[in-house]
Amino acid sequence: MSNVCVFDHPLIQHKLSILRDEKTSVKEFRELVSEIAMLMCYEATRDLPLEEVDVKTPVAVAKCRRIAGKKLAVVPILRAGLGMVDGMVSMMPNVKVGHIGLFRDPETKLPVKYYFKMPADIAERDVIVVDPMLATGGSASAAITFLKEVGVKHIKLMSIIGAPEGVKKMQEDHPDVDIFVAALDDHLNDHAYIVPGLGDAGDRIFGTK
Ligand code: PRP
Ligand code: URA
């Protein structure tokens, strides 16, 4: 069964409390999503392999460790996942970025795919899928299925808020995928929105409501 890691770091929890607030402006919301993604990235990449290198300082040679050429990609689920990309890229400037476009049909609540563009060598890369909301889990599960279909073997999912229903679906469909969230909320309402959640992440990032 996949590992679920809930980040309880005070900086993340503080920023999340402002993010949830209905009075938070679009500008601040967008900045907070990016900052939380950056902080979560720090922890979600903890297992990256390192290699020893010698670095000549002005004084002597220091035995140092650098990331061992791991091929990574960040894949946001459009739209809301886009808000998390900057934060990840600021930590990993050379990371490749693929995009999966999905929206939730308001009637069926099922994901509808409208875009899929990956780096050419995506099958050789470890992938971190980012989407602020893991609600029913339909979007994340479908996105990960599409990635597996093109040969990706190692995938992590990073969301800001998860619902128990979404975690359960992910664990059923993709038990090999580790899940990172800043909070696990209570339940979904009748519209499949996370309670208490933060509302519609895409609308709040892009100011579309
Ligand atoms: C939101 C969110 C996830 C999805 C989560 O996107 O960003 O992708 O819903 O719900 P699920 O777990 O029930 O699938 P939405 O479909 O609203 O599209 P948007 O990002 O374009 O606003
Ligand atoms: N998508 C969102 O943006 N918010 C939710 O609470 C559920 C799905």
Contacts 24+ apart (CB under 8 A), 61-69: none
The burial of 83, by beta-carbon neighbours within 10 Å (0-12 exposed, 13-18 middle, 19 or more buried), is given as: buried
Q: Label residues 111-148 b or e (16+ Cβ within 10 Å = b).
A: beeeebebbeebeebbbbbbbbbbbbbbbbbbbbebbb
Q: Which of 108, 165, 200 to mutate to test the pocket of ligand 2 (most atoms within 8 A of CB)?
A: 200
pTM: 0.95
Mean pLDDT of 42-65: 95
pLDDT of residue 2: 67
Which residue type sits at 127? V
Higher-pLDDT residue of 108, 75? 75
For residue 209, the model assigns a pLDDT of 85
Q: Which amino acid is at 164?
A: P
Question: Where does the chain show beta strands of DSSP type E?
Answer: 4-6, 50-56, 61-67, 72-78, 96-97, 99-104, 111-117, 126-130, 133-134, 155-162, 178-184, 187-188, 194-195
Whole-number percent of the chain with pLDDT over 90:
89
At residue 157, φ and ψ (nearest 5 deg) are -120, 130
As a whole number of angstroms, the distance between CA 94 and CA 91 comes to 9
Encode pLDDT of 73-107 as tens digits: 999 999 999 999 999 999 999 999 999 999 888 88
**Tell me: the pLDDT tens digits for 121-140?**
999 999 999 999 999 999 99
Closest-approaching ligand to the CA atom of 187 = 2
Tell which atom from ligand 1 comes closest to the C-alpha of 77: 8
Rounded to a whole number, what is the distance in angstroms from the first to the last CA of the chain?
38
CA of 74 to the centre of ligand 1 (A): 17
Residue nearest to atom 7 of ligand 1 (CA): 80
- Residue 135 pLDDT: 97
Which-ligand-closest: CA of 80? 1
Q: Is ligand 1 within 6 A of the CB of residue 133?
A: yes
**DSSP 8-state class, residue 196:** S
What amino acid positions are annotated as catalytic residues? 104, 108, 200, 203
